Structure 1
């Protein structure tokens, strides 16, 4: 009984002010038994911020062989390969060969970035988006089985409002590709 996923009905209004992209997304997402609420929140945010294409969740998030979220591509196996958390460098290199763009959403961890920066520089299609732990924790704490968020990306400022509160954070990012190609 404890292995059943918990489903969340999700409605997200997205505004990317820099790209003049406005969407209204409706989807159901599952919290898997081995997944934390923080990881789920990061997956939902990443899904809502996919720059181009139709995003898909993979069936087994946290797998080292598949992305958490992806878009399809005619040129490569994946258009966007999106993972949540700090992957192994070996996994990033494999993803970089399988996708046109690789985006990693992670909690801010300057030490991990500093320790791996030299190995990351050679991955020309990689973007790492770092979000504040407090921001993700606040969203996780207020999470309801029916998620209704308004998400606004304005430069490096990410804002989320639900029916009760407003949350905001600055995005730290590391780019190996041209910044204007992705989330800006």
Structure 2
């Protein structure tokens, strides 16, 4: 018998001071059986960082043709492609050709630095690529918020996202590598 995804309901309130975006999103987050709580909450953080009315979670780990999060317009054109972790050079270049903006959000500490050094030259021609990194310790702290029903408030300022719930908060530093 195959394991099923764990479903969480999320009310996400975003105050992005950088983009002057303020919005509330009622989301359903499906956590694949092989996905950790850290990775699931990183998807939520990625959603908050690029929040818009058209942004959506994809099928994620269950398919390799889609990123973790994306935004499409009404014609089906991919506006924003957000991958987590360490995608290979070929995947980044393909995503760059398919979408207007590609974002890779790394969370592996030293492993992320080694990955970036390895693919940096190969993806140099991808003009629409942005690479961000977060501290793995802060991602572990973020995992404390993972519940079946969540209400989170995310305040984004230059280089930092403050994620808070009713009785806890975590500050996540976001380093821009490219």
TM-score, L = length of structure 1: 0.87
Alpha-carbon distance in 1 for matches of 2:63, 2:156: 28
CA contact (8 A) 1:76 1:98 kept: no
**More displaced stretch, 137-146 vs 122-131:** 137-146
**More displaced stretch, 131-140 vs 60-69:** 60-69
Let me know the Cα RMSD of the aligned residues: 1.9
Q: Following TM superposition, by how much is the alpha carbon of 1:169 offset from its aligned partner in structure 2, in angstroms?
A: 2.5
Match of 1:137 among 135, 140, 149: 140
Unaligned segments of structure 1, at least 5 residues: 176-184
What whole-Å deviation, never above 9, does each CA across 1:15-69 have from its counterpart, x for those lacking one?
A: 1112211111111111111211111111111112225551122124363321111
**Residue aligning to 2:38:** 38
CA contact (8 A) 1:2 1:33 kept: no
Unaligned segments of structure 2, at least 5 residues: none
Task: Work out the number of aligned pairs and report it.
Answer: 175
Alpha-carbon distance in 1 for matches of 2:135, 2:63: 24
TM-score, L = length of structure 2: 0.89
Alpha-carbon distance in 2 for matches of 1:2, 1:76: 31
CA contact (8 A) 2:5 2:31 kept: yes
